[in-house]
């Protein structure tokens, strides 16, 4: 019966035979429902005015605080063939422990006596350089001796030239005297000839005077010849002086050239020795790469290469190691829209995968199973996924993070912002507004405020 008619039939119904109808009419369910709805309305109104902590939630993963504490892969610096394994997955290794031994596969390094033969070549080249150095010393002594001999010979030739010059001077004076003597003898002969013609002198006196004239003429010719010979000796001395200088300069130049060639061989040999020393060191260092060593203390997590006799390329990964000591951190990725709301030192609540938790994002104090953290670093460049990475470390004033955490595990982060009423948060979400922006008061800013207050008070 819907009771849609204005004519009521309730008074005509006999309820004595209808117990179910009596029970229904006796209940006050409508009043109870109204009271429940009214209570819910009041509870909702009260709830809307409760404080709500705005937050930025983001997924992340567990990592380490420092780069050298993160899982790393050990690579082979040189190509080779796997000969022996010294570890297996899960083993703990100390820094410097041998992980694997590989053998050489390149033909230029296959000689087992490569280092010794290279050392022998270096020794032979060193002896060659020593011989050239001795040759340089000998040539230097020869050049010094030639220089000294040239000086002595040159001085001797200069003395000889000086003697020739003095002889020329002396012979020139004798020649001048002979000319004067011949001139006097000629004049005396002419006078004697005139006197003889006049009959004043005898023929004997005339012939004596003629003989004297001939002797003077002969002495003149002799003095002239002697002067010419002296001049010729002077010229020969000058030529000999130049010849000595040229000869010794030629010998010195030849010795200098040989010395330069020997020095060139010395320098070339030294360059070759340096190159061979570099090559020897390269061989020595390369031989040390046959043993793959652990760079730090840690656990072998995965053997990327396997088997014996397999060849690996240069730079190929061999095993991955997890360092033994590390400081946990969480890398969370946030949207670019939320980046201005984050700063270093800001508090973060974290929920780790595998650890049960009761989370109330807006009421962090009532959440259970979450752990505290602080923002340690913020990337200045966007990641490949279009989000910014924020590194969160453990909050020293909160509960310690679980010891059983493992790097790479998932984490849910809630970065806490400003406290606002719930109705305001609902209104913000409906309108799509970002959370309220505010900055934590830094100690230096507080110090500046205190100084300003003190100044005003003074």
CB atoms within 10 A of CB 230: 22
pLDDT band at 445 (very low <50, low <70, confident <90, very high): very low
Domain ranges of the chain: 53-68+327-457, 71-104+290-322, 114-288
Exposed (0-12), middle (13-18) or buried (19+): which is 332, by Cβ within 10 Å? buried
pLDDT band at 442 (very low <50, low <70, confident <90, very high): very low
Asked whether residue 302 carries a pLDDT value surpassing 70, the answer given is yes
330-371 pLDDT tens trace: 998 888 877 777 788 888 888 788 776 555 555 555 555 578
Where helices occur in 199-314 by DSSP H, the ranges are 203-288
Q: Between 24 and 291, where is the model more confident? A: 291
373-430 pLDDT tens trace: 888 988 888 888 888 898 998 888 888 888 888 888 888 877 666 666 767 667 766 7
137-163 pLDDT tens trace: 888 888 888 888 878 877 887 787 788
Q: Is 413 in contact with 57 (CB distance < 8 Å)?
A: yes
Q: Is 343 in contact with 392 (CB distance < 8 Å)?
A: no
What is the CATH T-level fold of the domain 53-68+327-457, as seen in this structure? Elongation Factor Tu (Ef-tu); domain 3 (2.40.30)
Which CATH code of 3.30.1330.10, 1.10.287.620, 3.30.70.3270, 1.10.150.130 fits the domain covering 114-288?
1.10.287.620
Which CATH code of 3.40.50.300, 3.60.21.10, 2.40.50.100, 1.20.1630.10 fits the domain covering 71-104+290-322?
2.40.50.100
156-194 pLDDT tens trace: 877 877 887 888 788 788 778 888 887 887 887 788 778
pLDDT band at 446 (very low <50, low <70, confident <90, very high): very low
pLDDT at residue 286 in the model: 85
Percent of the chain residues past pLDDT 70, beyond the cut: 81
Look over the chain and give the mean of its residue pLDDT values, rounded to a whole number: 79
pLDDT at residue 8 in the model: 65
Name the packing angle between helices 114-198 and 203-288 (round to 10°). 170
Burial 286-295 (b: 16+ CB within 10 A, else e): beeeeebebe
114-142 pLDDT tens trace: 888 888 888 888 888 888 889 888 888 88
* Angle made by CA atoms 234, 237, 242, in degrees to the nearest 5: 130
pLDDT at residue 111 in the model: 81
Asked whether residue 23 carries a pLDDT value surpassing 70, the answer given is no
Q: Is 306 in contact with 334 (CB distance < 8 Å)?
A: no
pLDDT at residue 28 in the model: 61
Unique residue bearing structure tokens 């369910």: 29
pLDDT at residue 14 in the model: 64
**Residues paired with residue 234 on neighbouring β-strands, in sequence order:** none
């Amino acid at each position: 019966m819907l009771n849609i008619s204005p004519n009521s039939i309730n008074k005509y119904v006999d309820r004595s035979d209808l117990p179910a109808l009596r029970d229904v009419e006796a209940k006050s369910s409508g009043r109870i429902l109204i009271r429940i709805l009214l209570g819910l309305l009041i509870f909702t109104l009260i709830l809307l005015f409760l404080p709500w902590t705005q937050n930025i939630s983001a997924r992340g993963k567990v990592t380490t605080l420092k780069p050298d504490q993160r899982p790393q892969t050990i690579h082979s610096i040189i190509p080779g063939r796997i000969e022996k394994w010294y570890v297996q997955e899960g083993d703990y290794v100390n820094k410097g422990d041998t992980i694997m031994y590989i053998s050489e596969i390149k033909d230029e390094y296959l000689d087992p006596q490569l280092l010794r033969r290279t050392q022998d070549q270096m020794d032979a080249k060193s002896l060659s350089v020593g011989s050239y150095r001795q040759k340089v010393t000998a040539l230097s002594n020869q050049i010094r001796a030639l220089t000294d001999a040239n000086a002595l010979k040159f001085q001797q030739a200069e003395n000889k030239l000086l003697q020739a010059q003095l002889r020329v001077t002396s012979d020139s004076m004798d020649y001048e005297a002979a000319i004067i003597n011949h001139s006097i003898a000629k004049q005396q002969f002419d006078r004697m000839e005139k006197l003889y013609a006049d009959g004043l002198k005898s023929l004997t006196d005339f012939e004596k005077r003629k003989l004297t004239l001939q002797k003077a003429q002969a002495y003149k010719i002799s003095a002239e010849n002697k002067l010419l010979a002296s001049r010729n000796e002077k010229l020969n001395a000058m030529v000999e002086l130049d010849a000595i200088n040229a000869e010794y300069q030629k010998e010195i130049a030849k010795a200098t050239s040989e010395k330069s060639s020997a020095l060139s061989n010395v320098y070339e040999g030294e360059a070759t020795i340096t190159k061979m020393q570099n090559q020897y060191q390269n061989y020595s260092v390369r031989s040390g790469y046959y043993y793959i060593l652990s760079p730090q203390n840690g656990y072998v997590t995965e053997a990327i290469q396997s088997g014996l006799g397999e060849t690996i390329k240069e730079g190929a990964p061999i095993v991955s190691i997890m360092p033994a000591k590390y400081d946990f951190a969480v890398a969370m990725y946030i949207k670019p829209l939320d980046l201005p709301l984050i700063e270093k030192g800001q508090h973060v609540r974290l929920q780790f995968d595998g650890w049960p938790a009761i989370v109330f994002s807006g009421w962090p104090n009532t959440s259970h199973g979450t752990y505290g953290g602080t923002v340690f670093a913020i990337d200045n460049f966007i990641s490949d996924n279009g989000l910014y990475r924020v590194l969160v470390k453990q909050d020293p004033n909160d509960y310690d993070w679980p010891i059983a955490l493992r790097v790479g595990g998932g984490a849910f982060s809630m970065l806490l912002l400003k406290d606002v009423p719930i109705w305001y948060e609902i209104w913000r979400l409906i309108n799509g507004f970002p959370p309220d922006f505010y900055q934590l008061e830094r100690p230096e800013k507080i110090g500046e405020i205190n100084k300003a207050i003190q100044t005003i008070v003074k």
